[in-house]
Chains A and B, each alone.
Chain A
Amino acid sequence: MDLLADAVRQAVVLLTGGDREIWSVLSLSVFVSATATFVALVIGIPLGAALALARFTGRRLVVSAVNAGMGLPPVVVGLFVSLLLWRSGPLGGWEILYTPAAIVIAQALIATPLVTGITLAAVGAVPAPFRLQLLGLGASRVQMVWVVLREARLPMLAAVMAGFGGVISEIGASMMVGGNIKGQTRTLTTAMVLETSKGNFDVAIALALLLLVLIFLVNWVLTSIQQRRA
């Protein structure tokens, strides 16, 4: 118990003392995960909306694939992105393995099915007669989808939360494609694993506190938007 209390005290000292490395790890994590979430939103929202509205053969199969993808293990994504970006791999020419860009790609692959799946459910929950009404008021297809997404904006915020929450706390992919290189690809989660294995519990706890506060803040902001709009 002493160990824990002591470590927490040390962690607070580290955070308030302005330890450079901790803050650089934090900012890299936020930057990488926010970028990945953004990419996932850009791909996932139109894709989810299209899947919710379109009727084509094989739709059920695609929807099932998206839903399965919502539970995609980060470590599997890490493996495949590593293979793709490997020097001799198909995208080896990009030379971005073990850079933040590689982590962004991996995390975007993890978050996109989450955003797509939640968008699909949110848009699908808007009643079909409402869509017909919009068309009957002269909406083009794009205008109709835009209003429907606006109508589904509360569940859409859940998509943002799920996407960001999923990638900020994953570790398998970050570790495999980022490499946990100090000052370059070290994120909150990979640093935490490293510090824990080295026995530096104070640093690990400081990182854990940061991660928890970060997740709380993001969800708090999004939840207040939801509550205000509701």
Chain B
Amino acid sequence: MTRSRLDPVASGPLVSLRDVSVAYDGVPVLALDALEARRGEVLAVIGPNGSGKSTLLRIMGWLERPAAGQVCWRGRAVESGDVLEVRRRTAIVFQQPLLAAMTVTDNVGLGLRFRGVPARERRSRVAHWLDRFGVAGLADRRATTLSGGEAQRVALARALVLEPELLLLDEPFSGLDAPARASLIPELAAVLRDDRVSTVLVTHDRGEAQALGDRVAVLIGGRLRQVDETAVVFRAPVSEDVARFVGVETIVAGQVTAAGAGMVTVEVAGRALEIAASAAPGERVRVAIRPEDVTLTLPDERPVASSARNHLRGRVVQVRASTPHAHVVVDCGFPLVAAVTPRSIDELGLAAGAAVIAVFKATAAHLLRE
């Protein structure tokens, strides 16, 4: 590829968006202040269906122009004459594999042909990437005869063979059955990590974001609600809708009654909760607790030595089946949801009406202020 003004002059984000907005038929679908795709990181954009994620990805791939705002490649605005070249520095994979009716090898070589890569080099690069995604044995098969999982591996190889400066993934696992997803996600994670592929992954599945994302951007209703390191977004969501989306089940209102060094006491429905946070006494807050941070024990068991500060007596209200853990709703004066393995449900005899003690650490609870 020829050198051009699109080539790197400095480090910095690959793509940066500023004040970008999009509307379809007068209905706003996207309105962002600022977002960056950085070098060498996987940015996971998560949000419910219809939140504008796919639109955002198409804009980052220069496949769609926003109605307003600035989209920069390596810090520079892209003129219309440069769009093709910027597109050729990115590669996109959609939910559907969208393979052409030709052999697997020809499919994976498509983008290289578009770039005029000579046949000899094309063959070796295609073979290499088919191998990395474990589909080398399918090289001569017609794409129309592949299973869904095989086809998506071919689609990923077709994008990565281009060695894109920015890889764009639009719900790449959503069309797959559970076993195909379970095997492909860690394999893709390894490829992205080993090659330090700068990636933007759009998904409605928070598990995929946790598995692949270095940073997470939460997009709800076309607006960015939180952008931060993955662990931070999942541990400390900034608002109730973000908290709900990243899997927090328990969100209850309370009032700070005491505050010390990094520790506050919040009264919720007459119960005093010890929470690692800072707040002023008298402040009204909401407490967010993830179900997997809550464990349940039986009241007659000897208390296990534990650093957990919060032990709340309560009664089971409901057991909701879910994978891999069931969700047990406990009434502790307020509804508290715990994630429990099916085996523990049997062993503890958990059913509606059972008396239990819910245990969680001071660091497991998070304060929401809005």
Evaluate contact between A138 and B91: CB separation under 8 angstroms. yes
Shortest distance from the beta carbon of B1 to any chain A beta carbon, whole Å: 11
Q: Which residues of chain B (93-143) have a CB below 8 Å from chain A?
A: 94, 96, 98, 100-102, 110-111, 113-115
A132 within 8 A of B: yes
Q: Tell whether A130 is near chain B: CB-to-CB under 8 Å.
A: yes
Contacting pair B84 A147 (CB below 8 A): no
Q: Which of B87, B96, B100, B102 is A136 in contact with, Cβ under 8 Å?
A: B87
Known contacts A130-B98, A151-B100; decide if A138 and B115 are in contact (CB<8 Å): yes
CB distance from A125 to the nearest CB of B (A): 13
Query: A147: which B residues are within 8 A, CB to CB?
Result: 100, 110
Chain B interface residue count, CB cutoff 8 Å, equals: 24
Q: Mark B156-184, 1 if CB is under 8 A from A, else 0.
A: 00110010000010000000000000000
Number of A-B contacts (CB under 8 A): 53
Query: Which of B58, B96, B110, B162 neighbours the largest number of chain A CB atoms within 10 Å of its CB?
Result: B110
Complex Cα–Cα for A117 and B159 (A): 34
- CB neighbours of B111 from chain A (8 A): 137-139
User: Closest chain B residue to A137 by CB distance?
Assistant: B111
Alpha-carbon distance between A132 and B88 when the two chains are bound, in angstroms? 13
Cβ of A140: which chain B residues have Cβ within 8 Å of it?
84, 114
Which residues on A sit within 8 Å (CB–CB) of B168?
Answer: 136
CA distance A147 to B101 in the complex (A): 10
Q: Is B233 an interface residue (CB 8 A)?
A: no
A129 on the B face (CB < 8 A): yes
Cβ of A200 within 8 Å of any chain B Cβ, yes or no, is no
**Alpha-carbon separation in the docked complex, A205 to B198 (Å):** 72
**In the complex, are the beta carbons of A139 and B114 less than 8 A apart?**
yes
Chain A residues numbered 117-145 whose CB sits less than 8 Å from any CB in chain B: 127, 129-130, 132-140, 143
| Chain B residues packing against A (C-beta within 8 Å) | 58, 61, 63, 84, 87-88, 90-92, 94, 96, 98, 100-102, 110-111, 113-115, 158-159, 162, 168
Instruction: Rank and list the top 7 A-B pairs by shortest CB-CB distance, nearest first.
Output: A136-B92, A138-B88, A137-B111, A133-B98, A138-B114, A139-B114, A130-B98
23 A-B pairs with C-beta separation under 8 A: A127-B98, A129-B98, A130-B98, A130-B100, A132-B58, A133-B92, A136-B63, A136-B87, A136-B91, A136-B94, A137-B92, A137-B110, A137-B159, A138-B87, A138-B88, A138-B111, A139-B114, A140-B114, A143-B113, A150-B100, A150-B101, A150-B102, A151-B101
Where the two chains meet, the residues of A that have a C-beta atom closer than 8 Å to any C-beta of B are 127, 129-130, 132-140, 143, 147, 150-151
